[in-house]
Amino acid sequence: MKTAFVTGASSGIGRATAVALAEAGFRLVLAGRRRERLEELAQQLAGTPTHLLTFDVRDRAAVETAVQSLPAEFQDVDVLINNAGNAHGLAPIQSGNPQDWDDMLDGNVKGLLYVSKAVLPAMTRRNVGHIINIGSIAGYEAYANGNVYCASKAAVASLTKCMRLDLLPHNIRVAEVNPGAVETEFSEVRFKGDTERAAKVYEGFEPLKAEDVADVIRFMVTRPPHVNVAEVLLLPTAQGAATTIRRS
């Protein structure tokens, strides 16, 4: 049985991915900040071997300690899903909140690096592995007031390409999934709990669901070893570009 390590598994795309990979026969390491949600997910996945890790990807020491604590049967990670990340605020650069900037860069970029660094020894030692980084259409198309979030996801795109090159000698596949509009808690976090404003983001069209993204991830990690689906842009049919959406 292969082992998959999913960050941000307590909600949204991470949670849906955990369910999809359990159905595909993976043993799971479920990582997130909200222990009670991870426990609830583990109960839902009864029958699938799971191990829970509670940490914030922005805390390098916590990431290292958590990964080092993995029981023997979970240590040889085959698949890493770097899903944890965030968006905070939607303001022009001149009035942006520096704390929001730090939170996005620390979570979306540095957190991805910290987790990858901690997990990679299990892959490079065996010359096998598969890493999927969750990016965004925002990493390829800048939009007004998206500034630091767009920059953080552009960094993910560049890191993915560089990781693929660096890890090529170790036979490790590295790929990226770039979703467009997905209805999760994303907008509630971006708008700091303003549920009414968050709901308006998805009004008048059918957005992607977390399960749609998870289905693509499951496809990617179940390809034969010689196949790497290196980059996927996944949009709802009603979305033509980052901020171009056909609404009813």
In angstroms, the CA 242 to CA 232 distance is: 15
Exposure on the CB side of residue 159, measured as CA atoms within 13 A: 23
Please identify every residue annotated as catalytic.
149
Q: Is the confidence at residue 212, as pLDDT, over 90?
A: yes
Q: What is the CATH number of domain 3-245?
A: 3.40.50.720
pLDDT above 70: percentage of residues in the chain: 100
Contact present, 83 and 29 (Cβ < 8 Å) = no
pLDDT band at 191 (very low <50, low <70, confident <90, very high): confident
In angstroms, the CA 129 to CA 2 distance is: 10
For 73-94, the pLDDT digits (tens) are 999 999 999 999 999 999 999 9
Sheet of 27-32, strands arranged across: 50-54, 27-32, 3-6, 79-82, 129-134, 172-179, 231-234
**Per-residue pLDDT averaged across 42-68, rounded?**
97
pLDDT band at 189 (very low <50, low <70, confident <90, very high): confident
pLDDT band at 190 (very low <50, low <70, confident <90, very high): confident
